[in-house]
Amino acid sequence: MFRLHKFYRPAILKQLKIAKTKDSLYYGASSYHSNSGVYGYRPTLETNKVELKNAELQNQINHSNIYRLIQAYRAHGHYKAPVDPLGLKTPIDREELMPEKYGLENSTESIMTNGLLYSGKDQMTVQEIINQLEDIYCNRNVSIELEHLSCPTEREWLAKKFEESTNFQLSQEEKVKFAKLMLKSEAFDHFLATKFNTVKRYGAEGGESAICFYDELFNLAANNGLDDVVICMAHRGRLNLLACLLEYPAVSMFRKMNGMREFPDDVNGDGDVLSHLTSSIDLKYGDSSIHCSMVPNPSHLEAVNPVAMGKTRAKEQSNAVGDYSNDPSSRLGDSALCLQIHGDAAFVGQGIVFESLALSNTPHFRIGGSVHFIINNQIGFTTEPNRGRSSSYSSCIAKMNGYPVLHVNSDSPSESQNVCSRDELDKEVAEWNKTLSENHDQMETYIPKANHLEKKWANLVQPSNSLDVWDTGLDPQLLKFIGARSVEYPTSIQVHPTLTKQHIRKRIEKLTEGRGLDWATAEALAIGSILCQGFNVRICGQDVGRGTFSHRHAMLVDQETDEISVPLNNIIENQKGFLEIANSLLSEEAVLAFEYGMSIENPNTLPIWEAQFGDFFNGAQIIIDTFISSGETKWLLQSGLTMLLPHGLDGAGPEHSSCRLERFLQLCDSSDSKVDGSNINMHIANPTTPAQYFHLLRRQMVRNYRKPLIMASPKILLRYPDASSSLEEFAPGTSFQPVLKDTQTIDPKAIKKIVFVCGKHFYALDAERSKRGIKDLAIIRLELRYAGRDVLCMPAVGVGQVHKKQVEAILDDTFS
């Protein structure tokens, strides 16, 4: 049962065209802190606990010292393993691995192995067990760290698999395939060194075996039912992976090396550097296939990691799996896999890695895990490992989340040269070199292909250089219906009395009167209408469900049970579009990057990131500079990401006053000398009315293209009576207006002075004009530009009295 408001008729919904999207499930009201689900989050089923048989437990008790030694090898054996191909790191004989520490140095006892070691033998002597532990954990080119795992089931499963893996052997066919792959990679580097010897290529020399890992991972993913692998990596070995495995046209790569475009001439785009090229391809493995997409990245190392995570999450949303499914057996990670390829120095040195790991298993951000592959160059540009980190390994940071860590010697495929005849390998290399040479010869005549507007993006276009205007208005009765549904909740929920009075009842009153609509109501109307049209909306940030300024309340929390309700997810029956409220951890860079990743995967979702205060966006400056502002011109990737940056000089000091709008204006490719069309890199707005905000949000999804929206959102204006709108401003035929005329009725012939203003300062000027009784001055609002006070090295002063004097000075200067 829901509390309904009778005067709103659902028949009006016929005016909205409901887009067809893949079915997804809304779980209804659920606990905020808890065990119930909500759209975009389904609590993980409890992992099955390890249940050792009584005989196994008794064997551990009877032979506790040998069991302690086995656990020591599982925890410390990797220190002794020869996993460094350069031999720079000397294996360490740890005290924990010495038998005498456990009183076992002279033991000749023969014991049962059940519950102790997965040896494949029922009974072994103590010395045989020690020898086998040495072979498993210390004498191979691979070792493992697993004792830090908090889950006993996972820990025991991994120990079993690793201890049984000593019997694993590659087939002859696999050995031949891997040998050819590595030779192909090596030949590719040699070819580039000959033909493009002055071009920075970041080759895979010394790490050729990595391509065998990639190939086997794709093979396993394809043959285990996955649909997608999303790949992110930096520059080292990137071209090898693209050309040798991901079928990137070598001729297109050679054109880029020769200074030519990677896009067709009829496509608007300026391109990116060679080491940022990408591929999106279906690979065939037997009777199965897997779609592999490499995410474009900037030169800022590791910044792409959360972007790839967001793209993976968006694929899972499109496939309605895991957190987006009503099937209890459906799990995140069953349809899409995120492969993150790192460099050792960057993985431990870049803070965004920690943010991404912290984000990885939180509600509304988890993706079912990633595979992290660290290429251990043992140098960071010119910095040696002992100066590049404080930990034993670059991978130690991953242990905070309980990830198992495998250490592999990259020279381990040592038998590759003996797997087939020399003639066969020479023939493989010769054919590959011939293919590369033919591609090299075709550089001048080859026409690159663009695939940026395919599949989900097929109905979108690159905008023209002319200015377009979109009708984003809706029938007032429809808006009343959506507005009423935005505050309706199950009768079982006990909403806070203050919210009932100040939020729910006030909204109904304003909708009934058709005037005084505030910003939160305008947002709810925009989002609700977008949902009814079949699009999804995702609001992300710190405490966005409530809103930093306690204005949104998109989710209502039961004061008795902590159950929550998201009213906008119950607007109509058989609703196809849903609102996901993603209250994030206290991070800007990784979270904003994650949202950008979601935005470039699916144009049918409106991702909104709200900063706690606009001032805090600069923690994500790298993401704004290298992805949001330039991603389309570099990579042809459209993004509808919307950034809400609470902004306004209210006397709150340097870090609570400004979203530094001037920085975004600097990043915008808007022309200063001619009228702009719609094909600019991003739209920057500073709206002063709720209706303007409504139209901006709807325009993001109504248009047949996607552009980032950077919005200086309000703080004081959220509840300012004069900064409200009437339903007529939302009606059909209305749209966002870049310039707003004066609200006062003034005889044009009487005007002696015109003041152009942007943002909330309009209301201060308007009030001051009325106070002074001025009748010959008009105030025009520019909603796409910024005006502020005198130059200062920080956004605002930190002294309240000085702030007040600055405000007074601006008013006096305006009217003097």
| CA distances in angstroms from 83 to 94, 315, 341, 409, 412, listed in the order given | 16, 36, 19, 4, 9
pLDDT at 735: 96
Q: What is the mean pLDDT of residues 650-675?
A: 84
812: tokens are 């006096």
d(CA 404, CA 248): 32
Q: What is the mean pLDDT of residues 765-769?
A: 87
Q: For residue 789, is pLDDT > 80?
A: no
Q: For residue 6, is pLDDT > 80?
A: no
pLDDT digits (tens, 9 = 90+) for 757-766: 888 888 888 8
pLDDT at 48: 61
Handedness of CA 144, 150, 154, 155 (dihedral sign): positive
pTM of the complete model: 0.90
pLDDT at 29: 37
CA 556 from centroid of its chain's CA atoms: 26
pLDDT at 792: 53
- Among 263, 697, 343, 651, CA closest to 519: 697
pLDDT digits (tens, 9 = 90+) for 380-400: 767 777 787 888 888 999 999
Kind of pairing, strands 563-565 and 30-31? Answer: antiparallel
Select the more confidently predicted residue: 13 or 446.
446
pLDDT digits (tens, 9 = 90+) for 715-748: 988 999 998 999 999 999 999 999 998 888 788 8
Q: For residue 105, is pLDDT > 60?
A: yes
pLDDT at 22: 38
Q: What is the mean pLDDT of residues 697-710?
A: 97
Q: How confident is the model at residue 295 (pLDDT cuts 50, 70, 90)?
A: very high
d(CA 377, CA 387): 14
Q: How confident is the model at residue 143 (pLDDT cuts 50, 70, 90)?
A: very high
Among the residue ranges 426-435, 468-477, 521-530, the one predicted with the least confidence is 426-435
Q: For residue 799, is pLDDT > 90?
A: no
Q: What is the mean pLDDT of residues 672-700?
A: 90
Tell me the backbone φ, ψ of residue 583, rounded to 5 degrees: -70, 115
pLDDT digits (tens, 9 = 90+) for 233-281: 999 999 999 999 999 999 999 999 998 889 898 888 888 899 999 999 9
- Among 702, 705, 663, CA closest to 684: 663
561: tokens are 């049970």
Residues pairing with 493 in the sheet: none
* Residue 336: burial class (beta carbons within 10 Å; 0-12, 13-18, 19+): buried
pLDDT at 229: 98
The helix (H) or strand (E) run that includes residue 70 is helix 64-76
> Quick one: what percent of the chain has pLDDT higher than 70?
90
- The CB-side HSE value for 693 (13 A sphere, CA atoms) comes to 29
Question: Other C-beta atoms within 10 Å of 806: how many?
Answer: 17
Kind of pairing, strands 605-610 and 123-125? Answer: unpaired
Q: For residue 413, is pLDDT > 60?
A: no
Say if residues 648 and 715 touch (Cβ distance below 8 Å).
yes
Say if residues 295 and 311 touch (Cβ distance below 8 Å).
yes
CA 261 from centroid of its chain's CA atoms: 28
148: tokens are 């830090």
pLDDT digits (tens, 9 = 90+) for 16-64: 543 333 333 333 433 455 567 789 998 876 666 667 788 888 998 999 9
Q: How confident is the model at residue 417 (pLDDT cuts 50, 70, 90)?
A: very low
**Ramachandran assignment for 759, one of left (phi > 0), alpha (psi -120 to 50 degrees), beta (any other):** left
Residue-wise DSSP of 655-687: TSS---HHHHHHH----SSS---S-SS-EEE--
Q: At what angle do helices 126-137 and 64-76 cross, to 10 degrees?
A: 10
pLDDT at 43: 82
Q: For residue 120, is pLDDT > 70?
A: yes
pLDDT at 12: 45
Q: How confident is the model at residue 421 (pLDDT cuts 50, 70, 90)?
A: low
Q: For residue 502, is pLDDT > 80?
A: yes
Q: How confident is the model at residue 324 (pLDDT cuts 50, 70, 90)?
A: very high
Mean pLDDT rounded to a whole number for the chain: 88
pLDDT at 196: 94
Among the residue ranges 39-48, 259-268, 315-324, 464-473, the one predicted with the least confidence is 39-48
pLDDT at 377: 79
- Which residue segments constitute the domains of the chain, with CATH numbers given? 54-167 (no CATH), 172-451 (3.40.50.970), 465-737 (3.40.50.12470), 748-782+786-815 (3.40.50.11610)
pLDDT at 49: 66
Tell me the backbone φ, ψ of residue 143, rounded to 5 degrees: -145, 180
Q: What is the mean pLDDT of residues 336-351?
A: 94
CA 594 from centroid of its chain's CA atoms: 2
